[in-house]
Amino acid sequence: MSRLAHRFYIFMLSAITIAVFFILAFYGADYYSTNLEERFFHGQHELLKPSGFIGHGLGIVGSALIVIGVFGYMARKRFRFLSRLGALKYWLEFHIFLCALGPVLILYHTTFKFGGIVSISFWSMIAVVLSGIFGRFIYIQIPRTIEGREMSLNELNNKKVNFYVELEKKYHINSDVIAWLNRSLLDKSSLSDGNLFRRIYKRFKFEKELVRQFKLKLKTEDISSKNYKKIISLIKGDIILSRRIAWLNTMQKYLKYWHVAHLPFALIMLVIMIIHIIVALTFGYKWIF
């Protein structure tokens, strides 16, 4: 998948999730904003209540999306024959999409009324979604191949060397400028103080200033406007790569801790959701089948 196609893919997944949220909000705004005691008399009650045609359907579809998202991604990671069906990172992105859209549908299935054991499942689901967003941030900070395999430190360093060779040989960038860029990226003395969030803020601020300084240095070089844009794009890519190398050990450690926090909430959510479905079927709640 090309970079443009990948961006369109991510855009469409995000747009679908946001659109569904607002379409349902617009359609049922009057019902969802009505007091619980008065909803029985509302014209949309039979459709939107948790056991109604639309409300019940949202719960079924939302639960199905979560189950497919969780177990589909787990299967892709564990079964080698599925590796032919796309890169792991695309599966992860689709997993995130399904496990974001599913909770949106379940949120409207509940009609914003939470109680009993189901509330534990719902808030566990919210915890899974929020921790998933944080986990995604950690995941993308660890450099990987297109297949999703984590790159070794030697592979990353070789990639940086090839980048500097390309700058000098292909774009004829002055070796002093390249040396300055390398020294700047290796200097971590001003980025190591403070807690995690402060270090992240300082790192992004440092990178923005580094790009600005590099642009000033490029003005002294004889470079066409077309190559100028390509070089800036390459520089930004190298800065991101340097950040990920610097954070590699830390992010690997946080990813292990993240799994410990993420999986229990996911299991609680799934177990209670299954219990909820069994109880609903036992009491005769059926949809269109």
pLDDT digits (tens, 9 = 90+) for 31-79: 998 888 888 888 898 899 888 899 999 989 998 998 898 888 888 878 7
| pLDDT-derived band at 140, boundaries 50, 70, 90 | confident
pLDDT at 24: 94
C-alpha distances (whole Å) from 234 to each of 6, 189, 241 are: 19, 24, 10
Phi, psi (rounded to 5 degrees) for 147? -80, -10
pLDDT of amino acid 220: 74
* Domain range list for the chain: 3-149+251-282, 153-247
> What percentage of residues in the chain have a pLDDT greater than 70?
90
Both tokens of 23, joined, read 């379409």
Mean pLDDT of the chain: 81
Buried b (16+ CB within 10 A) or exposed e, 253-275: ebbeebeeebeebbebbbebbee
pLDDT of residue 127: 83
Query: How much is the pLDDT for 125?
Result: 80
Max avg pLDDT among 32-41, 146-155, 162-171, 280-289? 32-41
Query: Own/partner pairs for 210-215, CB < 8 Å, 24+ apart?
Result: 210/181, 210/184, 210/185, 210/239, 211/235, 211/236, 211/239, 213/184, 214/177, 214/181
Cα separations in angstroms, 107 against 14, 51, 280: 17, 14, 17
pLDDT tier for residue 289 given thresholds of 50, 70 and 90: low
Residue with more model confidence, 229 or 224: 229
Cα 104 from Cα 289, distance rounded (Å): 23
Q: Per-residue pLDDT averaged across 137-158, rounded? A: 69
- Closest residue by Cα to residue 97 from 192, 17, 41: 17
The answer to whether 202 and 215 are in contact (CB under 8 A) is no
Over its C-alpha atoms, the chain yields an Rg (Å, rounded) of 25
* Statement: the pTM of the whole predicted model exceeds 0.85: no
What tokens does 113 get?
A: 């009324």
Token code pair at residue 263: 């999986």
Per-residue DSSP letter, 192: S
- State how far the Cα of 236 lies from the Cα of 248, in Å rounded to an integer: 18
Residue found by looking up tokens 């689709």 in the block: 94
Asked if residue 123 lies in contact with residue 226, where contact means CB atoms within 8 angstroms, the answer is no
Question: Which residues have C-beta within 8 Å of that of residue 264, sequence separation ≥ 6?
Answer: none
- Selected residue with higher pLDDT from 160 and 23: 23
For residue range 190-202, list pLDDT tens digits in order.
556 666 677 778 8
Q: Is 195 exposed, middle or buried, given 0-12, 13-18 or 19+ CB atoms closer than 10 A?
A: exposed
Q: Give me the pLDDT at residue 26, please.
A: 94
